[in-house]
């Protein structure tokens, strides 16, 4: 009638219902999906074209101190505007030839400072100077370096971070000067462009399972990361919630009222279960929005049918393991601050897979991947990463890792239960990790 399972379920239900009311959960449910969708929309837009509608032109002031390059620069800017009519650059000559160059530079600086132009370009007097005759050949020794005044790009505090504008201006100046040099050698810029045009090289990936399934390489890396990150968030946010709940119950002295009715292990198991439910709810919401966004971006076909099932299995087992560690630590401490100090080693275990993301997603069958897949604290995240990179993982590895994780989770829960039942009524100085281990051996 009132067996331990029912008690555990009742505690789990309360824990779940209370978690739904917290601000953290609301943020997780509403804000995170909005962020995912927002990112998807923005990157989708960026992928198609920067700015779908015409944007106002940006003006760049120029002072040509060489006296020879104005035409070339103007031509380069014109070619740029023709290629990208959506966001043109307007070249503004500052002053005329009659004005002294120094005065024109000062005016240019003032215009940049006042924001009348977004950036200013001063072309150096010797920008297009040829190297002295006889030193251009490869056999020649190092040229004697003359102190050369460089061309300058001026930007105010508002536009200095617009690296794209700087890069564009730099490229256009380069183009103008190089074209000038071609002309000096009687070379036609068009001919040079034709000769140096790139050779197309198509990248084709041969995957083990489905040969020829071409996917954008970005998606090949990002989708597995998304799954692992989902696992990471699912485990950490709820484990943190569990820790808070335990510490709060302890400091508000609710614990002993509960222990009058349930055993410490039932209490801990109920809490872990309830928060696993919270985690699954969050993951379901994040997963649906995330995958919807992936479809929107055209990356959706990487999901295989079995993935949600693997995810749930690995999540529940992996969460049990990590959450019981959090619960044990929480039970031994009186404040969240004390708990944070003891949490360090556990946090390292959780973050480890994130660090290993790159090497493992590039080589999901390698030694590194296999070792960490069978190291229980990292199994859940690593296996989800491997499975989403390579859905055709050997069944023996999947079954073996689930078994190993299940055994480790139950063992951890048992040990954590020992610590929990002792720690939960201890007030005062928090124990050291060594003391915690000794508690496990207590009867």
Partner 1 sequence: MTTNAIELDAVTKSFGRVRAVDGLSAVVPAGSIHGFLGPNGAGKTTTLRLIMNIFCPDAGRIAVLGRPMGEAAKRRIGYLPEERGLYRKMTVRGTLAFLGGLQGMRGAGLAREIARWLGEVGLDGWADRRVEELSKGMQQKLQFVAAILHDPELLILDEPFSGLDPLNLDLLKGIMLAMRERGKTVLFSTHMMEQAERLCDSILLVDHGRAVLDGPLDRILASHRSNVVSARLEGDTAFVDGLAMVRGVRTVERRLEITLADGADSQELLAALVGRVAVRAFEEKAPTLHEIFVQQVGTAHE
**Closest distance of CB 426 from partner 1, Å:** 9
- 254 to each of 14, 104, 239, 257, 422, how far by Cα in Å? 14, 78, 20, 5, 16
Long-range contacts of 434-440 (CB under 8 A, 24+ apart): 436/328, 436/329, 436/332, 436/342, 439/332, 440/415
Restricted to residues 64-83, the positions that interact with partner 1 (CB under 8 A) are: none
Please select the residue that binds partner 1; options are 41, 110, 257, 403, rule is CB under 8 A: 257
Which range, of 59-67, 157-165, 254-262, 274-282, touches partner 1 by CB under 8 A?
Answer: 254-262
Whole-number Å distance between alpha carbons of 10 and 14: 6
Does 107 sit near partner 1 (CB under 8 A)? no
192 binds partner 1 (CB under 8 A): no
Compute the chain's Rg from CA coordinates.
Answer: 32
Task: Identify which of residues 228 and 436 has a Cβ nearer to partner 1 in the complex.
Answer: 436
Q: Does 32 bind partner 1 (CB under 8 A)?
A: no
Q: Residue 306, interface with partner 1 (CB under 8 A)?
A: no
Are 243 and 24 a contacting pair, CB within 8 Å?
no
| Residue 259 touches partner 1, criterion: CB under 8 A | yes
The answer to whether the beta carbons of residues 19 and 25 sit under 8 Å apart is yes
**Residue placing its CB nearer to partner 1 in the complex, 14 or 170:** 14
Residue 433 CB, nearest distance to partner 1 (Å)? 18
User: Is 21 or 145 the residue whose CB approaches partner 1 more closely?
Assistant: 21
Beta pairing partners, 91: 60
CB of 275 to partner 1, least distance (A): 16
Contacts of 130 (CB under 8 A, 6+ apart): 136, 181, 184
In the list 157, 196, 252, 367, the residue contacting partner 1 (rule: CB under 8 A) is 252
CB of residue 5 to partner 1, shortest distance in Å: 13
* 39/254 with CB nearer partner 1: 254
Cβ pair 16, 277 in contact under 8 A:
yes
Using CB under 8 A as the binding rule, whether residue 336 contacts partner 1 is answered as no
Stretch that binds partner 1, among 45-53, 122-130, 245-253, 274-282 (CB under 8 A): 245-253
> Which of residues 7, 65, 104, 180 is near partner 1 by CB under 8 A?
7
List the Cα angle 14/236/41 in 5-degree steps: 105
Indicate whether 23 belongs to the interface with partner 1 (CB under 8 A).
no
Under rule CB under 8 A, residue 2 binds partner 1 = yes
Q: Is residue 271 at the binding interface for partner 1, with CB under 8 A as the rule?
A: no
437 binds partner 1 (CB under 8 A): no
| For partner 1, the closer CB: 64 or 249 | 249
Residue 254 touching partner 1 (CB under 8 A) = yes
Among 256, 358, 366, 414, binds partner 1 (CB under 8 A): 256
DSSP one-letter string for 176-235: HHHHHHHHHTT--HHHHHHHTPPPP-------SSSTT----HHHHHHHHHHHHHHHHHHH
Q: Is 235 in the site for partner 1 (CB under 8 A)?
A: no
Q: CB neighbours of 169 closer than 8 A, spacing ≥ 6? A: 60, 119, 121, 153
Asked if residue 4 binds partner 1 (CB under 8 A), the reply is yes
**Extended strands (E) in 83-155:** 89-93, 119-123, 152-155
Query: Would you count residue 263 as binding partner 1 (CB under 8 A)?
Result: yes
**Is 20 near partner 1 (CB under 8 A)?**
no
> Measured between alpha carbons, how far is 73 from 64 in angstroms, rounded to an integer?
9
Which candidate, 123, 18, 13, 7, places its Cα nearest to that of 62? 123
Q: Is 440 in the site for partner 1 (CB under 8 A)?
A: no
C-beta separation of 317 from 413 below 8 A: no
Rounded to whole angstroms, how far apart are CA atoms 345 and 348?
5
Closer of 108 and 424 to partner 1 (Cβ): 424
Using left for φ > 0, alpha for ψ between -120 and 50, and beta otherwise, residue 13 falls in alpha
Q: Which stretch binds partner 1 (CB under 8 A): 29-37, 42-50, 248-256, 376-384?
A: 248-256
Closer CB to partner 1, 72 or 266, in the complex? 266
Contact between 148 and partner 1 by CB under 8 A: the answer reads no
Q: Of 78, 126, 262, 352, which lies in the binding site for partner 1, with binding defined by CB under 8 A?
A: 262
Residues that bind partner 1 (CB under 8 A): 1-2, 4, 6-7, 10-11, 14, 18, 21, 249, 252-264, 266, 425, 443
């Amino acid at each position: 009638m009132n067996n331990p399972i029912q008690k555990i379920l009742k505690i789990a239900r309360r824990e779940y219902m209370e978690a739904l009311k917290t601000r953290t959960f609301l943020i997780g449910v509403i804000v995170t999906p909005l962020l995912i969708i927002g990112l998807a929309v923005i990157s989708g837009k960026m992928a198609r074209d920067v700015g779908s509608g015409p944007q106002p032109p940006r003006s760049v002031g120029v002072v040509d101190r060489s006296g020879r390059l104005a035409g070339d620069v103007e031509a380069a800017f014109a070619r740029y505007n023709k290629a990208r009519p959506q966001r043109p650059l307007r070249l503004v000559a500052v002053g005329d030839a009659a004005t002294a160059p120094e005065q024109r530079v000062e005016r240019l600086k003032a215009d940049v400072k006042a924001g009348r132009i977004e950036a200013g370009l001063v072309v150096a007097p010797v920008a297009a100077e040829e190297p002295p005759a006889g030193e251009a050949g490869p056999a020649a020794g190092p040229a004697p370096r003359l102190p050369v005044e460089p061309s300058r790009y001026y930007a105010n505090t508002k536009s200095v971070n617009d690296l794209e504008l700087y890069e564009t201006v730099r490229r256009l100046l380069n183009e103008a000067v190089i074209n000038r040099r071609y002309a000096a050698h009687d070379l036609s810029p068009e001919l040079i462009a034709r000769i140096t045009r790139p050779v197309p090289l198509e990248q084709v990936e041969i995957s083990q399972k489905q040969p020829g399934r071409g996917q954008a390489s970005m998606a090949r890396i990002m989708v597995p990361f998304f799954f692992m990150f989902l696992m990471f968030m699912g485990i950490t946010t709820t484990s943190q919630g569990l820790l808070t709940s335990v510490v709060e119950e302890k400091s508000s002295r609710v614990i002993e009222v509960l222990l009058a009715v349930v055993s410490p292990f039932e209490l801990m198991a109920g809490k872990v279960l309830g928060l696993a439910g919270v985690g699954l709810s969050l993951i379901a919401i994040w997963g649906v929005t995330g995958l919807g966004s992936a479809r929107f971006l055209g990356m959706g076909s990487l999901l295989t049918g079995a993935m949600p099932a693997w995810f749930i299995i690995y999540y529940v087992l992996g969460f049990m393991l990590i959450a019981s560690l959090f619960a044990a630590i929480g039970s031994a401490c009186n404040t969240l601050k004390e708990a944070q100090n003891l949490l360090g080693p556990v946090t390292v275990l959780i973050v480890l897979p994130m660090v290993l993301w790159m090497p493992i997603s590039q080589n999901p069958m390698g030694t590194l991947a296999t070792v960490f897949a069978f190291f229980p604290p990292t199994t859940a995240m690593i296996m989800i990463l491997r499975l989403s990179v390579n859905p055709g993982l050997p069944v023996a590895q999947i079954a073996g890792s689930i078994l190993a994780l299940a055994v480790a989770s139950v063992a951890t829960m048992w040990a954590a239960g020992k610590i929990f039942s002792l720690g939960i009524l201890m007030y005062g100085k928090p124990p050291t990790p060594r003391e915690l281990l000794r508690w496990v051996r207590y009867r």
